Structure 1
Amino acid sequence: MTHTTNSPFAARRFTRRAATSCLILLLIPAGLLAYFWYSVWHTSHVNDQRKQAALASILDQARHATTDTTHALNTSGTADTDTLTGVIWQHTHAPLITYDASRRTFTATASRSAAYNEEVLLPGGDPVTVNRCFRFTSTRGTGASWTTTMTEQDEHVCSPGQTIDHRATLAKNRVKNMPAAQLTRTEVTQALDPTHQYDTYIVKDTARHGQTATISILVRAQRDVSATAAQCYQFTRHLDTNDAERATTSMPIGTC
């Protein structure tokens, strides 16, 4: 004869074990969910810190450019607009630099960028680039001294300069690859605008001095002459070197 024990103690012990098992099953997804949300918060926090560090680096670069530009202008010892434009460009790397003779003020707009590695929950994240637009204003006072100030602008303010920078780089590459005998006003114009439809390049002058050819080109941001920014660039092609990358240089100038 088989005897089955159904004591209250055994029943309570079974109930406790069942409750414990259910609690464990509930804690596992809760723990996973908590870990997921912590990982999301941690990733966001780290990325925000890295972004702020990148932005601080950009701002620091702009401040150094402001100080260096002021020093360079005050030690240039010249009042020539083209030379001063070159000085400002060397330190600000601004593709668009204008001069107001009545105010004796240069205005340079430049976009600066920095990249940081973004932390992601899954492998495969790419570097992230942040950009900031700055306006550098260099003014000559009543004496001979220059002062340069820097202000941050909306990104759209730098858009014309970015377009001009892209087109100036394209023009430099075209000039670099042209045969020396073709570095004439007509041939350069044809190389930059073969279809004569865009009018974004105006070749103003070409000159040859020994083994050096210089070409002055007005680079426009858009075709609309009345509503677009433009910058004069001087391209110098050194014909006595086989180093193609160093053979051609470009820089903005005041007039062309």
Structure 2
Amino acid sequence: MTRSSARRPGRMTLQPDGQERSMVVERVDRVMTAGCLTMLILLVVVLATGLSWLWYFEWHTGKVDSERRHRAVSSILQQARNAADDTARSLDASRTGDLDELTGVIWKHTGSPLITYDASRRAFTAQLSKQVMYDTSGDLLGGGSDAVSRCLDFTYSHPHGHPWTSKVAVRKDDVCRPATDIGLLVRLAGTRIEGMDPKDVTRTGVQKALDPTGTLRTFTVRGVTRGDGSVTVTVLLSSDDGTVRQCYRITRPATVSGTGQPPVTSTPSPSC
């Protein structure tokens, strides 16, 4: 009895230690679980906040860019209407029936590289592609710029006994492609003629300068005239696809260009 009584207290002292460890482990598990849940919730909140901010940023920049693009397009159309009205008034004020002079008036106000005249309708048609740049909000690294363009078709009519009237229409971009070609060609022709030696500015010399290989059909020199210290080259320009042609008179100084001399000018003409 004495030995048995002596063992019992020993076994009784181990039981509370095991329970305490189990309780501690449970508490640690509960704390860790609660901590993990808290971290997970915080992570979800942070990610959701970040995604919401990115979505708002994209929406806001898209909205701002759309408004700026709309203003740029409106600017193009307003400029076109103003140019059309100014041209019609200038055509009335010119009081002339000379097609060269009338073409020059239209070119001065519109800058159109392609101007044609329809005698049956007593109407001029001028085409050009107008472009306007605008700022964009960009991405997180900063803003940038973009551009909008519109193909503009101007019509100027002069019915018998009535003043000149104007109309502006927006066409598909590909409609203005030939006019854009003509604009590029006349700038190229002006640059090459300006750089020529004065003695080489002849019909043959200019044709060779514009078409060194003799294989292009975009440049056809029709004549060279001299007078009043200048040389005027008449050249017929053809678009790349050959659908349209425009005659130009390109004028440069008769001597080597230098300080104080007038620049090279290029003016469209209804015929060569």
TM norm structure 2:
0.85
Matching residue within 55, 61, 64 for 1:46: 64
Q: Distance in 2 between matches of 1:160 and 1:100?
A: 18
Quote how far apart the aligned CAs of 1:123 are.
2.4
Alignment of 1:123-202 (within 5 A): 123=141, 125-202=143-220
Bigger Cα displacement from structure 2, 23-32 vs 13-22: 13-22
Match of 1:207 in 2: 225
Q: Distance in 2 between matches of 1:22 and 1:126?
A: 38
Q: Please give the secondary structure, in 2, of the residue aligned with 1:119.
A: strand
- After superposition, the C-alpha distances for 1:97-146 in whole angstroms (9 at most, x for unaligned) are 11001110000111101011222223265421111001000000221510
Q: Distance in 2 between matches of 1:131 and 1:18?
A: 56
Q: Is the 8 A contact 1:198 1:223 kept in 2?
A: no
- Which of structures 1 and 2 has the bigger CA Rg? 2
Match of 1:68 in 2: 86
- After superposition, the C-alpha distances for 1:35-64 in whole angstroms (9 at most, x for unaligned) are 111111111111111111111111111111
Segments of structure 1 that go 5 or more residues without pairing to the other structure are: none
**Residue 35, structure 1, aligned to residue 50, structure 2:** no
Match of 1:231 in 2: 246
Q: Distance in 2 between matches of 1:223 and 1:244?
A: 39
Which portions of structure 1, spanning 4 or more consecutive aligned residues, are displaced by more than 6 angstroms?
Answer: 10-13
- Give the fraction of aligned pairs with identical amino acids, expressed as a percent: 37
Q: Distance in 2 between matches of 1:12 and 1:208?
A: 102
TM norm structure 1:
0.90
Q: Specify whether residues 206 and 223 from structure 1 end up closer, same or farther in structure 2 by C-alpha distance, changes over 3 A only.
A: farther
Q: Please give the secondary structure, in 1, of the residue aligned with 2:252.
A: strand
Match of 2:3 in 1: none
Segments of structure 2 that go 5 or more residues without pairing to the other structure are: 1-12
In angstroms, what is the RMSD of aligned CA positions?
Answer: 2.4
Bigger Cα displacement from structure 2, 170-179 vs 243-252: 243-252
Alignment of 1:96-135 (within 5 A): 96-123=114-141, 125-135=143-153
Aligned amino acid, residue 94 of structure 1: S
Alignment of 1:78-93 (within 5 A): 78-93=96-111
Q: Distance in 1 between matches of 2:120 and 2:260?
A: 41
Q: Distance in 1 between matches of 2:41 and 2:142?
A: 37
How many correspondences in the alignment?
Answer: 252
